[in-house]
Amino acid sequence: MKRVLIIGSGGREHALAWALARSADHVYVAPGNAGTEWPAADGVAPCENVALTDFAALIDFVREKQIYLTVVGPEVAIAQGIADQFTAAGLRIFAPTQAAGELESSKAFSKDFMRRHNIPTADYATFSDYESAVAYVRTLTKPFVIKADGLAAGKGVLLPDTGDEAASILWEIFHGALFGAAGEKVIIEERLTGREVSLLAFSDGETVVPMPPARDHKRIHDGDQGPNTGGMGAYAPVPDVSVEDVARYTREVLEPAVRGMAAEGRRYVGVLYAGLMLTPDGVRTLEFNCRFGDPETQALLPLLETPLYDVMSACVEGRLKSLDVRWKSGACATVVLASAGYPGDYTKGVPITGLAGVPEDIHVFHAGTKRSGEQIVTAGGRVLAVTAVADTLALALERAYVGVERIHFEGRQFRRDIGVIRDMTDQDTKDSAASAPAPEPESQYKAAGVNIDAGNDVVQKIKAALRSTFNPNVLSDVGTFGGLFDATGLKGMQSPVLVASTDGVGTKTKVAAKLNRWDSVGADLVNHCINDILVQGARPLFFLDYVASAKIQPDIIAAVIKGMTDACREAGIALIGGETAEMPGVYEVGEIDVAGTIVGAVERGKVITGKAIKVGDVLIGLPSSGLHTNGYSLARKVLEKEDWTIPHPDLNGATIGDTLLAVHRSYLSEVTKLWEAGVETHGLAHLTGGGVVENLPRIFLPNIGAKINRGAWDIPPIFSLMQRKGSIITPEMYRVFNMGIGMILVIPVDQVDKTVEIIPTAKRIGEIVEGRGVQLV
């Protein structure tokens, strides 16, 4: 009988149980979770949880049940020598010995081992006391990382930006027992830059068979922000790592490691996991792990075509070389759902709903779950891993996110950018070693890059345009240190509230630079800021601008500001001042930063707070003119190989350049007409950074959500073009871009007809519902 015991309780172990149950006769998981129990099914062996944790009891259980193979998930069990004890008892186990597992349990051993066997890795030094470590970091001129020597649950890597910060961290490690026994020794190593890849392999002690390359996402928040976690999602294979690359990394890293282990009397049997950084100088090994990764396992095992039981048996029996390990074509992606507060303190026992509604082709691997009667509840930081396989990575991600949207528990966290490829530094942080610009010569200001005459030239060029926006409330002229605005007009208001907003155009300026067209970004800025205060119910009073560059080019700056003045005149507001800054060394040559501040006013009793929003209210979408001022970093990337200057067939004959530079719409006129007609506005959302999905919930109170019908409006063709060219999954499109809707109004259902009559282009796109966030249907 092919009976299997799996040690562990996480998502990795559920994935192992799922894979092994397809070739074993019976699977046990100790201690397991709410997902690792099921009866026998067609072609799938039954799986049972076993409430055992100590090795002696597990050995007795294996003998009693005549289990043929034990598989170890967590690193702690390996470090404690579970394989040694099972082997001494004459039992078969798929896991490295305690001595071989030192590759993971001691980073100091691992780094020294890599050095001995010429495995490429970062430069490093090892320390066992605070004083020596601090003295060493004071000598470093390049960025570095501090790593605890022992196992620290994936959180033993810290990234100080300064020597003082490093000293504080080292004090906490050595004197504050930050990592306990795991921090009795630390490794200080250079911080690497590049893309990370997880390359796992099966090993029988001689033969090494790599798995497809995988990539996980460690940070808790989108854009690789926030603290590190055990992993918030993963995908495989990695598009930017070729078959040839995998073969090379196997020759340079994995095979030397297995040979080196054998040469040192530590025969390595099990899964060897190499965390790699693809640097400009070649591959570097960040670390070795001596087991399956989590969540990489959830993204790898669904692609394995050869029965996992056969592969593991071949490893244990030393005959891996004779086995043909095959993998499915296509891609697999997994998205982790985590508890509120994770990776810090989190609440357990929160009910999970929607599991039964997940489509059959989507796998849900349980991690931190347990059963409470008939209800499945949360029992850990990482709760579930939602996994899908498809022909392409984009499709796999899209299916995984379909599953994610079916599952709910209070406070759930998940990343919406799994599969986005970024260059990173070690453990995904900023490089803090950028050199400071050279000091400016006191008597050669122009030679240093600052041209006062050019600044004065700009003032002369824009004076007339700025004055054209002035009204009797403006008390200052161009060129003074601050703009003056007479607030006497506010006396007519019973209880005036000032509303202010500051924003910028962002990387849309790079599009303007590429096309050398600067006549629209100024208007973009003003209209963006108008919309930002409009959602509070405020009408604008005045505007101030900020334009900065490495080198002032008067004609370009004048064109940008003319766009601002045109938009201000159209809105009936004054541009009363601002700043034109020339900052060589801060900005790259040719780059321009455009930002501004707007101030408006609203009666206190008419401030729109969102408190009036209620279930049953209707969502009215006002069309955008295109991207507005959001998502241009992604847009430029996916469209960079296209010709932006010729008519494009997918854009109805318009050019990509014209489409990308379309001016951000102002909704002041349309919304004012609604207010003047007495249309009750419960809420407004300006769709800026975060697109459709993120912006609307910002105006909601708790327990309020929205359902949006994606087919309720025509999506401009530029978005379809970008999605196709960039293989962008649909959830990310709605999270990054406005998708053709620039402003959403929340109004009572009985005022929909009146609203559409006043604004014929308005679309009814959804409604307010109970719950949280935005559902796209």
Report pLDDT digits (tens) over 694-708: 888 888 888 888 999
Mean pLDDT within 25-49:
94
pLDDT band for position 222 (cuts 50, 70, 90): confident
Q: Tens digits of per-residue pLDDT, 58-112?
A: 999 999 999 999 999 999 999 999 999 999 999 999 999 999 999 999 988 999 9
pLDDT at residue 438 is higher than 60: no
Mean per-residue pLDDT, 607-617: 91
Higher pLDDT, 448 or 142: 142
CA-closest candidate to residue 766, choices 712, 701, 725: 712
pLDDT per residue as tens digits for the range 196-218: 999 999 999 999 999 999 999 99
Three-state secondary-structure class, residue 606:
helix
Neighbouring CB atoms inside 10 A of 5's CB total 25
**Cα–Cα distance, 749 to 24 (Å, whole number):** 58
Residue 704 region by backbone torsions, left for phi larger than 0, else alpha for psi between -120 and 50, else beta: beta
Rounded to 10 degrees, what is the CA torsion of 629, 635, 639, 643?
0
More confident residue, 495 or 579: 495
Percent of the chain residues past pLDDT 70, beyond the cut:
91
pTM as predicted: 0.57
pLDDT band at 442 (very low <50, low <70, confident <90, very high): very low
Average pLDDT of 345-366?
95
Length of the chain: 777
Mean pLDDT of the chain: 88
225 forms bridges with which residues in the sheet? Answer: 221
**Integer Cα distance of 771 and 405 in angstroms:** 12
Beta-strand runs (E) in 505-623: 539-549, 574-582, 592-603, 618-623
- What is 186-210 written as a DSSP string? EEEEEPPEEEEEEEEEEESSS-EEE
Residue 441 pLDDT grade (very low, low, confident, very high; cuts 50, 70, 90): very low
Higher pLDDT, 154 or 31: 31
pLDDT reported for residue 115 = 93
User: Which structure tokens are listed for 342?
Assistant: 């994770």
Q: CA–CA separation, 207 vs 547, rounded Å?
A: 61
Q: Give residue 464's pLDDT.
A: 55
d(CA 530, CA 568): 9
Q: What is the widest separation between alpha-carbon atoms in the chain?
A: 94
Higher pLDDT among residues 444 and 581, named by residue: 581
CA distances from 152 to 173, 175, 182, 230, 630 (A): 12, 17, 6, 11, 39
Q: Give the pLDDT of residue 205.
A: 96
Of the candidates 707, 706, 699, 772, the one whose C-alpha atom is nearest the C-alpha of residue 411 is 772
Tell me the C-alpha distance between 546 and 593, whole Å.
Answer: 8
Looking at 268-282, 413-427, 485-499, 513-527, which range is the least confident one? Answer: 413-427
CB contact set of 702 (below 8 Å; sequence gap of 6+): 772
- Rg for the chain (alpha carbons), in Å? 30
Determine the pLDDT at residue 82: 96
Long-range pairs for 433-437: beta carbons < 8 A, 24 or more residues apart: 433/141, 433/142, 433/143, 433/191, 437/584, 437/585, 437/586
477-491 tens-digit pLDDT: 555 567 787 788 787
Quote the pLDDT of residue 167: 84
Q: What is the pLDDT of residue 141?
A: 83
- pLDDT band of residue 459 (cuts 50, 70, 90) is low
Instruction: Choose the weakest-confidence range: 11-15, 425-429, 496-500, 642-646.
Output: 425-429
Average pLDDT over residues 146-153: 79
Is a pLDDT exceeding 50 seen at residue 435?
no
Write the pLDDT tens digit of every residue in 278-328: 998 899 999 999 999 999 999 999 999 999 999 999 999 999 999 999 999
- Whether residue 551 contacts residue 452, with contact meaning beta carbons closer than 8 Å, is answered with no
For residue 571, what are the CA distances in angstroms to 469, 559, 602, 668? 10, 19, 16, 7
**In this structure, what is the dihedral angle of CA atoms 547, 573, 679, 532, given to the nearest 10 degrees?**
20
Residue 756 pLDDT exceeds 60: yes
143 preceded by cis ω (within 30°)?
no
pLDDT at 444: 38
Percent of the chain with pLDDT over 90: 62
Q: What is the mean pLDDT of residues 42-66?
A: 94
Could you tell me which residues come within 8 angstroms of residue 542 by beta carbon, excluding any fewer than 6 positions away? Answer: 473, 474, 483, 485, 573, 574, 575, 576, 598, 599
CA end-to-end span of the chain: 48
Predicted confidence at residue 477, as pLDDT, reads 54
pLDDT in tens, 623-642: 999 999 889 999 999 999 89
Contact call for residues 266 and 106 (beta carbons, < 8 A): no
Strands 26-31 and 47-49: parallel
Q: CA-CA distance, 130 to 225, in Å (whole number)? A: 29
Output 645 or 423, whichever has higher pLDDT. 645
The owner of tokens 């050279």 is 438
Q: Which residues contact 737 (CB under 8 A, 6 or more apart)?
A: 627, 630, 631, 691, 692, 719, 722
pLDDT at site 353: 95
- Specify the pLDDT at position 423: 61
User: What is the arithmetic mean of pLDDT over 326-342?
Assistant: 96
Q: Note the pLDDT tens digit of each residue in 375-432.
A: 999 999 999 999 999 999 999 999 999 999 999 999 999 999 999 876 655 444 333 2
Can you give the pLDDT at residue 430?
A: 33
